[in-house]
Structure 1
Amino acid sequence: IAEAMGLKRPALYYYFKSKDELLDRLIVEATSGPAHDLNKIAARSELDVVARLHAMARHIVVWVTSNRDRFLLLVKSEADLSPASAKKFNEGRRAALDAVVSVIEEGIDAGEFRPVEPQVAAFGVWGICNWAAWWYHPDGETPLDTVADQLAEMAVAGLQRAERRESAVVSPRSMVAALREQLDQLDQALNRDQVS
């Protein structure tokens, strides 16, 4: 932990009495902040349910990649948490998960999402989004905005009814990517016709 924070071990204990106190602080920051943000997005009445789930998924991707070291430290330390810390961690994660579940339930009730088990679907959304913390690097080829938009769109599309996907909320970047893909397909078809 000290190494990840760029401190020597004794300096770390100047600020925190114990490893548990430090982990408790990390737990609060890593769970209550995102849960609060997700609940705010869920309550945005100016957005339809599809746009809210997209915004929530996008927020999760941006948060886990922007707080990558902290997020991964907590995930890797989960088995070593004290019972009290584990309880806080689970309560915070549950609050964040519940925010996503509530929007999925609303989408099912509105006929926008397929009739799936909402909690399983929410775990799927979280899995898609959280996994970015393991592989995304800010100095890589793909900008974070593109990664966040694409993963959010994939998470939402996996829940939408097939007839609703065509009118799904899409970002300008994804529209450009779709146009490029269609142009590539057209170019390949034209090249095949010339060879024939």
Structure 2
Amino acid sequence: MDVVTAEGSGPRGRSGGRAEPRRGTTPRRKLLMSEIVDQAMRLFAERGYDGTTLQDVADAVGLSRPNLYNYVKSKDELLVAMVEATARSAANSLREVRQRTDLEPAEKLRMLVHTLVLRRAERPEQFRTLDRSDQALPPEIAKKHLKSRRAVLREITELIEEGVTAGLFRPVDARVTALSIIGMCNWVAWWFHPSPGHPAEPVAEQIADNAVKMVVREAGRTPAAPTPLGAAALLQQDLDYLTRLLSSNGEPGDFAANE
């Protein structure tokens, strides 16, 4: 049997050298580990977690199964790597946008949604794999996945609350609105199929624009010809929001959104 080692030229390179030690952190090792995770995500999305073997992953990357064990020992390890990468990149990038002081809430929301849509459009296998495997994840992995989903929900919820408090967004229920926006972003991984004539960027821009329109106040809060009932309805919206704000403990709740 030909043995493909980690010392070859790229993921599919061949040589007579030894595979890199499992604990190594060389650039080549990082590159190959990224390839292993990418191929595993693709296979999990196509065949399901249970329908994919480590041999399938090794074949896709161009390694022998013994050499694959220099990088991962089980499919659970691959899921851990996927979840950890998702948690770090998603939550951190959204938090950085939300904490910017040079942008208005509407601009921040547009950037957050744009980021989420591009993630799902450009790497749909990663999202679909975690979404399909959610109920079958081992407990520790499921806990990490839930944490990352809640982090995304929290960032968007807090941003919407910021816009409402500043009087720039309508007095909507921030958490319900955040869940609606996240759901709109998540579906991109299922229906969008990029091609040279159908790039992801315009799709991300349109969905981001739709999200902003869901919450932003129109110029001039009251109707052109206000009526007592119309003014009372606007006041009731503000009172409803104030009631929710005063009764809230500041937590976004346990109902998490996919990420």
Range of TM-score over shorter length: 0.7 to 0.9
Q: Distance in 1 between matches of 2:40 and 2:153?
A: 30
Contact 1:49 1:103 in 2 (8 A): yes
Change (3 A) 1:89 1:141: same
Tell me how far 1:68 sits from its aligned partner: 1.2
- Provide the rounded CA distance (Å) in 2 between the counterparts of 1:58 and 1:164: 27
Which residue of 2 is the match for residue 39 of structure 1? 95
Unaligned runs of 5+ in 1: 166-196
Task: Tell me what 2:159 maps to.
Answer: 103
Residue in structure 1 matched with residue 185 of structure 2 by the alignment: 129
CA shift in 2, pair 1:131/1:111, >3 Å: same
Q: Distance in 2 between matches of 1:145 and 1:63?
A: 11
Decide whether aligned partners of structure 1 residues 3 and 132 sit closer, same or farther in structure 2, where only a CA change above 3 A counts.
closer
Q: Which residue of 2 aligns with 1:61?
A: 117
CA deviation digits over 1:78-105, x for unaligned, max 9? 1110111111100111112111111100
Q: CA deviation at 1:141?
A: 3.8
Question: How many angstroms does 1:162 deviate by?
Answer: 3.3
- Partner of 1:163, secondary structure, is coil
| Larger Cα-atom Rg | 2
**1:16 equivalent in alignment to 2:77:** no
C-alpha contact (below 8 Å) 2:120/2:189 kept by paired residues: yes
TM (norm. structure 2) is: 0.59
1:91 aligns with 2:147: yes
1:1-196 aligned at under 5 Å gives the runs: 2=40, 4=42, 7-8=57-58, 10=65, 13-139=69-195, 141-163=197-219
What RMSD over aligned residues (CA atoms) do the two structures have, in Å?
2.2
Identity %: 36
Separation in structure 2 between the aligned mates of residue 82 and residue 3 of structure 1, nearest angstrom: 17
Which amino acid counterpart does residue 72 of structure 2 have in structure 1? Answer: F
> Greater relative contact order: 1 or 2 (C-alpha under 8 angstroms, separation 6 or more)?
1
Residue by residue, what CA displacement relative to the aligned partner does 1:20-43 show, whole Å, maximum 9, x if unpaired?
211111001112211000000001
For the Cα contact (< 8 Å) 1:53–1:156, is it kept in 2?
A: yes
Structure 2: distance between partners of 1:12 and 1:106: 48
Number of residues of Structure 1 aligned to a counterpart in Structure 2: 165
Aligned 8 A contact 1:112 1:164 in 2: no
The gaps in structure 2 that reach 5 residues or longer are: 1-38, 44-55, 60-64, 222-259
User: 2:242 is matched with which residue?
Assistant: none
Question: What's the CA shift for 1:161?
Answer: 2.1
Q: Deviations over 1:118-162 (max 9, x none)?
A: 111111111111111111122164321110000000011011223
Q: In the aligned structure 2, how far is the partner of 1:27 from the partner of 1:66? A: 17
Are the counterparts in 1 of residues 41 and 125 from structure 2 also a CA contact under 8 Å?
no
d(CA) in 2 for partners of 1:117 and 1:140? 39
Contact kept, 8 Å, 2:122 with 2:200, in 1: the verdict is: no
Separation (CA, whole Å) in 2 of partners of 1:151 and 1:54: 9
CA positional deviation for 1:164: 7.0
Native 8 Å contact 1:113 1:159 kept in 2: yes
